[in-house]
Amino acid sequence: MRLDHIAVCCADLAEGVAATEAALGVALGPGGRHARFGTHNRLLGLGDIYLEVIAPEPGAEVAGPRWFGLDHAGAPRLGNWICAVPDLDAALAVAPPGLGRAVPLERGELHWRIAVPEDGGLPDGGAFPTLLEWGAGVTPPAARLPDSGCRLARLEVSHPEAERIAAALPLEDGRIAFRTGPVGLAALIDTPGGQRRLA
């Protein structure tokens, strides 16, 4: 398991992009659409991972709940972190309940499978990562995006049962810190203008 990307969730993409660019002092790049869930995004490369700002796409029709809890999204916030695994079925078989089922998706040259709960919500309010498996031969976005000069310095994961979540994750990444407290995520990101905080 490795950290793949972090996501700012919001009700309006333009608002989310503006808030994220103001917080980091850098411009986001283009993104794309996810027809299956009626969402669209914008992306920013952070070296070995990336940041996405994601929101419902106006007018998009969906057959069920949107992913990432976006049916109930409000003001922009760092709402999710996503980890890649080599075998999603195997990871879900040993993971805590509530992570959902594997859903196949594709966008352009990208194809992947991602765990989505039936209600479209976020496991543990977003404190437990969403799991995905990139398709065979796919070059993930982090390796495709231009270098923004930004890097993740620290991802703080807060939850009343933070120790339980940390113990359930086969994840070794010194940038990720778990702490006991109200549910929430915060990222410290080194930018060309200095270190900024995104929450």
pLDDT at residue number 191: 98
Domain that holds residue 9: 2-144
Note the pLDDT tens digit of each residue in 88-134. 999 999 999 999 999 999 988 899 999 999 999 999 999 999 999 99
194 falls within a domain? no
Beta bridge partners of 5: 50, 82
Average pLDDT of the chain?
A: 97
140 falls within a domain? yes
16 falls within a domain? yes
159 falls within a domain? no
Query: Tokens 């352009």 map to which residue?
Result: 108
Rounded Cα distance, 145 and 168, in Å = 31
Say what the pTM is: 0.97
Number of domains in the chain: 1
Evaluate if residue 177 carries a pLDDT over 90: yes
170 falls within a domain? no
108 vs 43, which has greater pLDDT? 43
36 falls within a domain? yes
pLDDT at residue number 108: 87
23 falls within a domain? yes
Confidence class for position 56, pLDDT limits 50, 70, 90: very high
- Tell me, what CATH number does 29's domain have? 3.10.180.10
pLDDT at residue number 167: 96
